[in-house]
Structure 1
């Protein structure tokens, strides 16, 4: 109980005594939230919605699908850009989008036909060659982004194109202005859940393949950062970099006239988001879980919530990115190369208390690296490594990490001081208490952990440290949104830039390959493959999944048609409106 009371004391500092006590004595189960707003009024013709991008940092503003990395940039793009193929509630592609598709009998070739009346915001038609251009960017030898993943790499001829041995991708054929086919080396179920169908307007941004500009010039171009276009329901009118975006209705949107006349997206600090919702300064905002108790009392706000396709984690730096070979490489000299130490650190972490006392039961201990939202593939019987300090101490003893000088902290097997440096992001009231609590958890089993640079880092600085494999970082705390494809290779594959732990193994390679193979079209077979993969990651522990989460959305009561239900037509941004 000592650690839990330490966490409770931290809560007193963050939130005040009375609220902390109510958390300790109050709810034991997560609340149940609606998925849609109750307002059924007719939306007004000239309505404007103000949407908060809740962050302590400015949004990056890389508004192009191949190049962006931040979640706020993704939120912005959802209003003005979209994929050609829609997806259903099971995340599989459908024919309800701006294009239809057919999959060949051998499940290796997909053919898309863009529907009539689909135009870029500048009035030019969306062409099959625009989708080709997206693939030419993703596979380009100079592409430095993070989306050269399995479904791109699996295209016939992409290896040669990516290596610069050819100027054409042999597996992609443009048949006419609106028809394109993509042939893959191997049939894979990821074609149905991870197929890239977001085109890039070659005529607007410039043609890298024709030598009009370099890849680096394109990524930093005003055509991406200041005047981007899409073919979605709203058109960008003005961007104040890092601060706000003004969008207006696309009268020629292929689905029909959107409900709202205009949308304002603006950065709102976590510290004032509750006040902004209360005053009506914003109509829509993701609510930090630590502010749930306050927001639920607001009369002008409805709270919607659902299990999120995301998890937070603690990562261990056990290798580096090999820029020459474009792959992750394990480092046997890493401080955390011994998996027994990593296993022990997971057992030492009291995630249940963090979810209970800091997040009001809105987050709960994670067990594996496939989230429960993927019901067919999440292994609910795998309990991960539950909180067990005694087990942690035994594993550290077994690994040879012993406190030899009696100072309460363990030395490494050679008798040298063993100090780990922990990078964690600033943001919200609970970021620092959580970091301190985990540091205390590890101290309780004899591990000395200190914050990198003695402080928390802002979003951009944090990811610069992590992406660059800075030697000042041994441990780092982050979060992943999983996307719609259960295939984890984009995060944990040998060639995945997002694999920040830099973990690799032959068994990992084999399982990830099997999970996207033709045999994996059999759901039961794929389930068994991913069950084995989850077990491997619990054994090798390249990172610790700490908490699964509920996503909370605060919605002003004047908002009409807003829904987060994947089965509802109202989940689409063009359906949303406001009443008088």
Structure 2
């Protein structure tokens, strides 16, 4: 009952804030809490921790995995699907290649690479001291094996996409027409050669699968059983700086240092990863129960900005929030989307009207204090060379929304305040949204309220929010689309490669809208064509793609995001973001116990 009351009060706050953004309170006086009205900029934050004091040898650190739900526990890069699992994976496993601040692969990682003159054949060399946690070497066979598993017809993960299909012989292997992948050659124990069908600019910015799979552990296991096996769920293995010692499913993971880590022995003896509910996160930070976290709810920042025992790091997130429209289903046999021209949300004027009805700018400023801001296109500003900051998207405009609906034939024919569809039938739109912190419900209710203002009847799916795991299962992460969902509120991390094919391509299982279009196919292909090696040409292609997606509106962005991470003052050598040159094995503390807030 308390939880409901708190959510209800927050909903009222949001509605009032968005309805009236003046500087006066109800009795005409100035607002009492100026701090809550302050708007911040992510540019005011550093992404590298300031080191204070001297680091000690050893010690234990607690990492707070901020989530309202348990983590799934699919703890292998080749099979995981959700960010909570990735937050755990980063501590004990890693990619064989690393990248710089421009998202280009370097030779500073666990493997190096050379490229042939035609740009199609890559020769990788795994460093001699790169070993699995059980002491077995990470080999070229392991890297090949990962490709074979992902390409296998019985593979049940989400990784079989354009990246894998670009390997010569992969499609024949996947179709059962070949026993091996002809484009991959094991040259020696530590040397692998991969030939790609097409050389394209994405190859060196994320277009290579860089996560091996331990063949000595999984080699005799049926592919269909790997993702649910104890070797993935209960005793996962990697070659990263820490070793998994104990797992409490969905709740916590205890890791000890990998003394034989290839970069060098880690400074810390132990890392504890534990799930922390966003609603109690501040208390955990104040008490020193967690040293650093996966992310901090930016709506809570103003009232906690002066927390004495932490330093806040900040960065532009490689992510955005969005509203998606269900426009078809996933064809499991063909392994591609099957768009339905008669879907409830098929009219793009309806979709664009729903975008115009949302005041994302005000939501970002008043609810997230400027640390989230209105999304305009589907390439976020984390990729500034490709993000089209001149495109306004579909700005808040209720009159325009109503005009579009009128033009499309959505009219209130029975004077009940809600529009019927063009055939005169009742129109009820089922909206799926995730649970989370205290903002989740009021934000979902705000969307519903705004759509009601333009005459659309929208209701929460099942009358409630859904936890992270069940939400993504129902929107189709395994290919099973819930027919009761018409629209949904999601969020995407976009990866290091700007190529959006993995989210919006015809063959992408993550294309949850199940929307396809020949022009989309063309633009996505052009973005990784030979011509796209010219950065200016590629920029123009993705500029055109961003505008095309605004016109078609299979999804629309709501908010771009920043990442805020409070870090306890005792922590040394920590950074967030890409290409910082600060690695987890260097992480250290200056004292045995965390600093509580004063």
Q: Distance in 2 between matches of 1:4 and 1:370?
A: 31
1:309-330 Cα offsets, whole Å, 9 max, x none, are 1000000001111112110011
Q: 2:278 aligns with which of 270, 274, 280?
A: 270
In the alignment, what sits opposite 1:396? 405
1:23–1:357 contact (8 Å) kept in structure 2: no
Q: Distance in 1 between matches of 2:18 and 2:287?
A: 31
1:126 aligns with 2:138: yes
1:279-329 Cα offsets, whole Å, 9 max, x none, are 000000121112112331311111111110100000000111111211001
In the alignment, what sits opposite 1:281? 289
2:313 is paired with a residue whose SS is strand
Q: 1:142 aligns with which of 154, 175, 180?
A: 154
> Cα distance 1:381–1:19, how it changes in 2: closer, same or farther (>3 A)?
same
Q: Distance in 1 between matches of 2:91 and 2:30?
A: 37
In the alignment, what sits opposite 1:573? 584
2:301 is paired with a residue whose SS is helix
> Cα distance 1:348–1:9, how it changes in 2: closer, same or farther (>3 A)?
closer
In the alignment, what sits opposite 1:162? 174
In the alignment, what sits opposite 1:199? 212
2:156–2:227 contact (8 Å) kept in structure 1: no
Q: Distance in 2 between matches of 1:73 and 1:564?
A: 18
Q: Distance in 1 between matches of 2:51 and 2:145?
A: 42
> Cα distance 1:376–1:192, how it changes in 2: closer, same or farther (>3 A)?
same
1:362-441 equivalences in 2 (<5 Å):
362-441=371-450
Q: 2:89 aligns with which of 74, 77, 91?
A: 77
Q: Distance in 1 between matches of 2:565 and 2:75?
A: 23
In the alignment, what sits opposite 1:184? 196
In the alignment, what sits opposite 2:336? 327
Q: Distance in 1 between matches of 2:373 and 2:33?
A: 19
Q: Distance in 2 between matches of 1:198 and 1:534?
A: 30
Deviation at 1:568, TM superposition (A): 2.7
1:239 aligns with 2:247: yes
Q: Distance in 2 between matches of 1:471 and 1:37?
A: 47
1:58 is paired with a residue whose SS is coil
1:251–1:257 contact (8 Å) kept in structure 2: yes
> Cα distance 1:131–1:19, how it changes in 2: closer, same or farther (>3 A)?
farther
Q: 2:17 aligns with which of 8, 24, 48?
A: 8
Unaligned runs of 5+ in 1: none
1:534 is paired with a residue whose SS is helix
Deviation at 1:24, TM superposition (A): 9.2
1:500 is paired with a residue whose SS is coil
Deviation at 1:372, TM superposition (A): 0.8
> Cα distance 1:19–1:492, how it changes in 2: closer, same or farther (>3 A)?
farther
2:328–2:338 contact (8 Å) kept in structure 1: yes
1:348–1:441 contact (8 Å) kept in structure 2: yes
1:260–1:577 contact (8 Å) kept in structure 2: yes
1:212-263 Cα offsets, whole Å, 9 max, x none, are 3322211100011111111111111111111111111111111111111110
Q: Distance in 2 between matches of 1:70 and 1:246?
A: 20
In the alignment, what sits opposite 1:492? 504
Question: When the two structures are aligned, how many residues end up with a matched partner?
Answer: 569
Quote the RMSD (CA, aligned, Å): 2.0
Runs of 4+ that moved beyond 6 A: 9-12, 16-21
Q: 1:61 aligns with which of 73, 97, 114?
A: 73
Q: Distance in 2 between matches of 1:250 and 1:29?
A: 40
> Cα distance 1:29–1:104, how it changes in 2: closer, same or farther (>3 A)?
same
1:84–1:114 contact (8 Å) kept in structure 2: yes
TM-score by length of 1: 0.95
In the alignment, what sits opposite 2:108? 96
Q: 2:227 aligns with which of 210, 214, 219?
A: 219
2:38–2:302 contact (8 Å) kept in structure 1: no
1:411-458 Cα offsets, whole Å, 9 max, x none, are 111111111000000110100111010111111111110000011111
Q: Distance in 1 between matches of 2:329 and 2:550?
A: 21
Q: Distance in 1 between matches of 2:376 and 2:321?
A: 11
Unaligned runs of 5+ in 2: 1-11, 592-598
1:569 is paired with a residue whose SS is coil
1:315-348 Cα offsets, whole Å, 9 max, x none, are 0001111112110011122111011111111111
> Cα distance 1:167–1:23, how it changes in 2: closer, same or farther (>3 A)?
farther
TM-score by length of 2: 0.92
In the alignment, what sits opposite 2:266? 258
1:479-500 Cα offsets, whole Å, 9 max, x none, are 0011100000000000100000
Q: Distance in 1 between matches of 2:76 and 2:552?
A: 35
- Quick check: 28-37 or 302-311, which moved more? 28-37
Q: Distance in 2 between matches of 1:78 and 1:35?
A: 18
1:490-548 Cα offsets, whole Å, 9 max, x none, are 00000100000011001111111111122211111111111111111000000011000
Q: Distance in 2 between matches of 1:21 and 1:30?
A: 22
